Amino acid sequence: MSEYSEHRMESEMGVLLRAGVIVACSIMLVGGVLYLLQQGAAHESYQAFRGEPAPLRSVSGIWREVLAGNARGLIQFSVLVLIATPVLRVVFAVYGFTRQKQWMYVAISLVVLVLLAVGLSEHV
């Protein structure tokens, strides 16, 4: 069995990153067109900061908005896919470094993953 080389891991990482961005931007484009069809004539103001409504602030809320056919929810879902892309890259690094038996870098990747999880948890 050939060794799982660093170069191979890096190129697989590249494929993962690119796929994530393509998928996210495609969903965002569809959501954007739907949004303009649904609410293109409305007037949204961004001058004062009010914060997004609660359903667009959490993963479960965004998913419900998508199922309800809300275009703003669909765009927000594409944002989640985009955020997940670098996170998955770190998960992939844990896997890749494990296959290479580079335990120190497995540990380092896990620390990064924990930090990402802290940011994504809803209690910060």
Partner 1 sequence: MTNALFSGLVLGGSVIAGFVGSLTGLGGGVVILPLLTVAFGVNMRYAVGASLISVIATSSGSAAAYVRDGFSNVRIGMMLEIATAAGALGGAALAAYVPTSKLAILLGLVLIGSLFAPVNRETHGAQLSPPEPATAGRLSGTYPGPEGPVHYAARRVPLGFGMMGMAGLLSGLLGIGSGAVKVLAMDLAMGLPFKVSTTTSNFMIGVTAAASAGIYLHRGYIDPGLAMPVTLGVTAGSLTGAMLLKNADVHLLRLFFRAVIFALGVEMIYNGWAGRI
State the binding string over 55-94 for partner 1 (x if CB under 8 A, else -): -xxx------------xxx-xx--x--xx-xxx-xx--x-
State the binding string over 4-43 for partner 1 (x if CB under 8 A, else -): --xx-xxx-xxx-xx-xx--xx--xx-xx--xx--xxxxx
CA distances from 77 to 32, 58, 89 (A): 12, 10, 19
Whether 71 and 38 have beta carbons less than 8 Å apart is answered as yes
Q: In whole angstroms, give the CA distance from residue 102 to residue 48.
A: 50
Whether 71 and 31 have beta carbons less than 8 Å apart is answered as yes
C-alpha 32 chain-centroid distance: 17
Report if residue 116 touches partner 1, rule: CB under 8 A: yes
Chain positions contacting partner 1, by CB under 8 A? 6-7, 9-11, 13-15, 17-18, 20-21, 24-25, 28-29, 31-32, 35-36, 39-44, 46-53, 56-58, 71-73, 75-76, 79, 82-83, 85-87, 89-90, 93, 102, 104-105, 108-109, 111-112, 115-116, 118-122, 124
